[in-house]
Chain A
């Protein structure tokens, strides 16, 4: 049997019109090391609106996953949240204790972790794993009701009902990934954080999983943070993109403007270096020097790789400012204009 997703991709929403569900203000997450603190997330601010998908992109080690973990309050030692606010519907998650967090995790914010398909319990049937998640938070439910809910969920992510009785090893990677999506939305959360949900999948499967995410977003109106580094996939899936570099948010923009005219030099580099299957173009070479995160230089964090670097960049940290409607960028090039 083949699994076909008949989906209707909804119009992407215009920016700036909906309720904000999550606000992150000046978040700082540092990792303690013997030779000083590594600033994994440094002064990051953004917000997520109702029913939108925000892509969080950047190269490995730039702080994408750490930012997501901080939102869930899952930063583990030696990491710690040093400062900032994380407001979920106005409630500051940074101040909550473990008991209060338990009530919020999964019911209001859920996670599709990196390599999620390997996070399924190999000795439990799919129905029991999903059922577990429901009953942990809602208490015991009548079997019949539980079954109906699980079958509905499986259908929503495009899986056939026989998956209900199966074990994880009987499923392919893409199917397991969709089970994880089903588990993430089982309690109807406000926000789903998906950490590289399609990496390690083949393009065709990747696309099916991506379309499943879009379908879920459109049907449930859930907000999502999609972490990844595949710009092509981002172009297909997200409404807005947040670009991180070395622990800082350097650009935040709606997806159309960002691909049409990237503002920050790092975003420009990111977009230019996407290999295309439409035209054969000369390779764009850059030296990948990043400064030591324990000891960031004064000024802009991108100065070592930036082709437009000036003296001011070496002295003053560029703040993230709105330079065009709904577009924020942290770069001195755009402030004077």
Chain B
């Protein structure tokens, strides 16, 4: 197998606690590993609640911040050690689409400015004509036409259109990977499908992989290939998206999936919801599983060490929970309808 496209290996990111800073540190990511292969292109979802470290991960991959420990390699090369020249190439091949399609535009410039900047920065076109054709092609990929939007100002476009233009801008640079940080959470429900469909087409027709960062498991379920569910900076569960969401194993993921409101008034929320306020969660657990304070299946040993990922199902399905330490004994008991032995 060839080199992975992106390899995140045991990355830890700690905020605060520097030489002159006092006070507690925040461990935003702890010992996280994630690999995206070159072939085939995939949509890898990173999901979790706010404070779980999703955006920190995106910022690390985009090179905005550096890891405290661990390695991020792009096609075998350490991102933190790249020369400016290599970094520029990296920035071209790894593109970003952000959450808020209203704030990423400069309101004083027409939409075409977004494309002109990208073309100029990366010297993509030799002539005006060539540039125009490239922009037109990129817009066609997202189902738009240049004459409709290029001369307009951002406020004349809807949120969905703006977000599609952002995807077109990313596509223009022919990236290998697009980091999409909550790309649909501010787009109206009826228009969301269009953005998701564009992501699928870019994956299938243009071989672009996505690191899809979201808190919305239902869209991940619709388009995602693999999923990583984060809880307070650690991977709680990972695997094939459909497999994980259909058969969640980690108690946190089970709670999360039970809490997604079902769009059917005859089906009520399952289980019981618990929340703990943030400061207590962080203070209580110095070592051990971070979900301990909220977990309804906690054990003595969960406080002693951080649970590693144990295999819990087919297609690389793994959960970081001591319940699955010994496959023969582990039988989750809470989910009455799905008491599947861990070794299936």
Which stretch from A3-11, A136-144, A218-226 is at the chain B interface?
A3-11
Residues of chain A contacted by B285 (CB below 8 angstroms): none
Contacts A235-B262, A269-B190; A2 near B221 (Cβ below 8 A): no
Alpha-carbon distance between A175 and B280 when the two chains are bound, in angstroms: 13
B160 to A, closest residue via Cβ: A288
B215 touches A236 (CB 8 A): no
> Across the interface, do A235 and B190 meet the contact criterion of CB distance under 8 Å?
no
Q: Is B257's CB under 8 angstroms from A277's CB?
A: yes
Kindly provide the distance from the CB of B101 to the nearest chain A CB, expressed in whole angstroms: 12
Shortest Cβ gap from A17 to chain B (Å): 18
Q: Is the CB of B269 within 8 A of A207?
A: yes
A236 near B261 (CB under 8 angstroms)?
yes
Asked whether B277 lies within 8 Å of A172 as measured between CB atoms, the reply is yes
Once A271-B263, A275-B219 are accepted as A-B contacts, the answer to whether A171 and B277 lie under 8 Å apart by CB is yes
> Of residues 51 to 108 in B, which have CB atoms within 8 Å of A's CB atoms?
none
B201 → A minimal CB distance (Å): 11
Residues of A contacting B293 with CB < 8 Å?
Answer: 2
Residues of B170-187 at the interface with A, using a CB-CB cut-off of 8 Å, are none
Cross-chain contact B245 with A277 (CB below 8 angstroms): yes
- Of chain B, the residue at the smallest CB distance from A245 is B190
Indicate whether B342 reaches chain A with its CB closer than 8 angstroms: no
Cα-based distance from A205 to B266 in the complex (angstroms): 21
Closest to A278 in B: B262
B259 touches A9 (CB 8 A): no
- In the complex, are the beta carbons of A232 and B189 less than 8 A apart? no
Interface presence of A98 (CB below 8 A): no
B158 at the interface (CB under 8 A from A): yes
* Interface residue range, chain B: 35 or more
Chain A residue nearest to B267 in the complex (CB):
A235
Interface centre among A12, A175, A275 (most CB of B within 10 A): A275
How close is B47's CB to chain A, nearest CB, in angstroms? 10
Q: Given the known A-B contacts A172-B277, A202-B49, are A273 and B193 also in contact in the complex, defined by CB atoms under 8 Å?
A: yes
Q: Are B190 and A204 in contact (CB under 8 A)?
A: no
Contact at A276–B221, with CB atoms within 8 Å?
A: yes
Chain A residues, CB < 8 A from B334: none
Known contacts: A207-B269, A208-B275. The answer to whether A233 contacts B261 by CB under 8 A is: yes
> Are A270 and B190 in contact, with the CB atoms below 8 A?
yes
Q: In the assembled complex, how far is the CB of residue B285 from the closest CB belonging to chain A, in whole angstroms? A: 13
- Which of A22-30, A184-192, A279-287 interfaces with chain B? A279-287
Q: Is the CB of A235 within 8 A of B294?
A: no
Does A256 reach chain B (CB closer than 8 Å)?
Answer: yes
Q: A59-B188, A277-B221, A285-B197 are in contact. Are A232 and B262 (CB under 8 A)?
A: yes
> Is B297 interfacial (CB 8 A cutoff)?
no
B218 contacts chain A at the CB level, 8 A cutoff: yes
Interface of B is mostly: helix
B-side contacts of A290, CB under 8 Å: 158
Report which of B191, B218, B275, B278 forms a contact with A204, defined as CB distance below 8 A.
B275
Cβ contacts A189-231/B at 8 Å (1 or 0 each): 0000000000000111111101100000000000000000111
CB pair A255 B265 closer than 8 Å: yes
Q: Is the CB of B197 within 8 A of A259?
A: no
Q: Is the CB of B218 within 8 A of A277?
A: yes
- What are the interface flags for A248-280 relative to B under an 8 Å C-beta threshold, 1 for contact and 0 otherwise? 000000011001000000000111011111101
Give the distance in Å from the alpha carbon of A318 to the alpha carbon of B188 in the complex. Answer: 25
* A204–B255 touching, CB < 8 Å: yes
For B222, list chain A residues within 8 Å (CB).
275-276, 280-281, 283
In the complex, the answer to whether A284 meets B193 with C-beta atoms within 8 Å is: yes
A123 close to chain B: CB less than 8 A: no
Interface 1/0s, chain A 94-110, versus B by CB < 8 A? 00000000000000000
A236 to B190: give the CA distance in the assembly, Å. Answer: 20
Pick the contact of B221: A60, A230, A275 (CB < 8 A).
A275
Q: A286 vs B191: C-alpha distance in the bound complex, in angstroms?
A: 7
A202 touches B215 (CB 8 A): yes
Asked whether, in the complex, the Cβ of A3 is within 8 Å of the Cβ of B275, the reply is: yes
Quick check: is A311 within 8 A (CB to CB) of the other chain? no
- Chain A residue at smallest Cβ distance from B193: A283
> Which residues from A are CB-within-8-Å of B300?
none
**Chain B residue nearest to A12 in the complex (CB):** B265
A1 within 8 A of B: yes
CB distance from B310 to the nearest CB of A (A): 24
B188 cross-chain contacts in A, Cβ below 8 A? 59-60, 229, 288
Task: Specify the chain B residue showing the minimal Cβ separation from A173.
Answer: B50
Q: What 7 A-B pairs come out closest when comparing CB atoms?
A: A232-B261, A202-B49, A59-B188, A275-B218, A283-B193, A232-B263, A207-B259
Q: Which residues of B contact A (CB under 8 A)?
A: 49-50, 158-161, 188-194, 196-197, 200, 215-219, 221-223, 242, 245, 255-257, 259-266, 268-269, 272-280, 293-294
Pairs A–B under 8 Å by Cβ, sample size 14? A60-B159, A170-B279, A173-B50, A204-B255, A229-B188, A235-B263, A236-B265, A255-B265, A259-B264, A276-B221, A281-B222, A283-B197, A286-B190, A290-B158
Q: A208-B275, A231-B189 are in contact. List 7 more A-B contacts (CB 8 A).
A: A203-B256, A232-B263, A256-B266, A270-B190, A275-B192, A276-B218, A286-B191
